[in-house]
């Protein structure tokens, strides 16, 4: 069964460093998403991406964040200069189309720890 994969499973970084979180969406999907879950809190929407551009971003997704689809398979989230409060689990998701009749498939997540 096709699945969304994410690497690494756990990333530890120093405050101020750049990190890149990687995702491989399901191959025929066209819409891609990042969500974040700070420990003990809700899963929050960060950004959606379609046709090589951001469709929507939340208030959390400030200038320190960027997303890219560098090739036909990867979808990345970059945090330019990490802060302590960026420590969270980051989930990638993909869907075949956007809309209420299509499910978003989630990856296993990358746990980011900023020291």
Does residue number 51 form part of the binding site for other proteins (CB under 8 A)? no
CA–CA gap between residue 21 and residue 2 (Å, rounded):
20
The smaller minimum CB distance to other proteins, of residues 45 and 76, is found at 45
Contacts (CB under 8 A) with other proteins, residues 58-87? none
Q: What is the DSSP secondary structure assignment for residue 82, as one 8-state letter?
A: -
| Least CB distance to other proteins at residue 36 (A) | 11
CA–CA gap between residue 2 and residue 84 (Å, rounded):
34
Does residue number 101 form part of the binding site for other proteins (CB under 8 A)? yes
Chosen residue from 1, 27, 42, 71 binding other proteins by CB under 8 A: 42
13-43 b/e with 16+ CB inside 10 Å = b?
Answer: beeeeebebbbbbbeebebbbbbbeeeeeee
Does residue number 45 form part of the binding site for other proteins (CB under 8 A)? yes
CA–CA gap between residue 70 and residue 83 (Å, rounded):
25
Residues in touch with other proteins (CB under 8 A): 31, 33, 35, 41-45, 48, 50, 55-56, 91, 93, 95, 98-101, 103-109
């Amino acid at each position: 069964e096709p699945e969304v994969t994410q690497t690494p499973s756990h990333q530890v970084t120093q405050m101020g460093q750049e990190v890149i979180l990687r995702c491989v969406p399901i191959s025929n999907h066209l819409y891609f998403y990042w969500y974040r879950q700070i420990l003990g809190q809700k899963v929050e929407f960060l950004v959606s991406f379609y046709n090589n551009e951001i469709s929507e971003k939340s208030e959390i997704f400030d200038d320190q964040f960027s997303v890219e689809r560098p090739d036909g398979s990867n979808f990345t989230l970059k945090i330019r200069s990490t802060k302590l409060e960026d420590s969270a689990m980051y989930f990638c998701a993909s869907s075949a189309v956007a809309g209420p009749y299509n499910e978003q498939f989630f990856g296993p997540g990358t746990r980011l720890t900023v020291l």
